[in-house]
Structure 1
Amino acid sequence: MSENTRATSIADAIAGLPGPFQQHELALVNDTVLRVARLAGAFPWHHHDEDELFLCWDGTFRLELENRPPVVLAAGDVFVVPKGLRHRPVAEAPAHVLLVERPETEQYGNPRHAD
């Protein structure tokens, strides 16, 4: 097994993102993956069969949650969307988020349940 001997720059990863909602994998840790994404506008409603952690890196965005008030995140804020809860991130201006989830987590949610 090879070991990574270099630090990963989140700023460099953000600068290299090709566009809104396109994720970049930063690190694998045990049974989870750390991803970064740029948010701009509204992402489609979806849900996952596992929890999803959102950490706002910069900017501000809101997580709209089905049948619950939205949660607004600013730089340094963390929120966990519980498994099965329909949600969507919405950013009025570009923001960046770190996501902690399982490697197999589908970006657009579980296909049989996404709309």
Structure 2
Amino acid sequence: MSPAPINLAQKLSTFHEHYQPRTVGQFNGHDLMVVKAKGPFNWHRHDETDDFFLVLSGRLRILLRDGEVALGPGDLYVVPKGVEHCPVADEEAHILLIEPQGTPNTGDPATAAARVLI
């Protein structure tokens, strides 16, 4: 049986919550996730892994303690591990995230969103 392609727009249409990533697939020990962003997230860092963002639609700003990165559709940015950052979307943005399986989205397992597979 051949696997079906993953349609990211269709997956994004199945939920409305912001900053609640949904896992749409896995590869090499990593989760492929989509998330809807709107407003500011919280300042956080990932001590064990880089943080990959690919903007599918909308605009996303990633605030850093020493500046800001502005992303639009098709732009990607990797926040290096250990760097504190805060994603902000002034209007709703749709993002593809790639992280090692089990990485807490807040950098802290106690405050992280539960992983949801769709």
TM-score by length of structure 2 reads 0.86
TM-score by length of structure 1 reads 0.88
Cα shift at 1:18: 3.2
CA–CA distance in structure 2, aligned partners of residues 28 and 4 of structure 1: 16
Question: Which stretch shifts more, 4-13 or 14-23?
Answer: 4-13
Say if 1:4 and 1:35 are closer, same or farther in 2 by CA, change over 3 A: farther
Cα shift at 1:111: 5.3
CA–CA distance in structure 1, aligned partners of residues 94 and 54 of structure 2: 9
SS of the residue corresponding to residue 88 of structure 2 reads strand
Query: Which residue of 2 is the match for residue 107 of structure 1?
Result: 105
- Paired residues of 1:54 and 1:98 also in contact (CA < 8 A): yes
Aligned residues: 110
Cα shift at 1:98: 0.4
CA–CA distance in structure 2, aligned partners of residues 62 and 4 of structure 1: 38
Query: Equivalent of 1:94, from 78, 89, 92?
Result: 92
- Paired residues of 1:23 and 1:36 also in contact (CA < 8 A): yes
Query: Which residue of 2 is the match for residue 62 of structure 1?
Result: 61
Query: Which residue of 2 is the match for residue 32 of structure 1?
Result: 30
Aligned identity (percent) is 35
Q: Which runs of 4+ in 1 moved over 4 A?
A: none
Query: Which residue of 2 is the match for residue 19 of structure 1?
Result: 17
Query: Equivalent of 2:83, from 78, 82, 85?
Result: 85
Runs of 5+ unmatched residues, structure 1: none
SS of the residue corresponding to residue 26 of structure 2 reads strand
Cα-Cα RMSD: 1.8
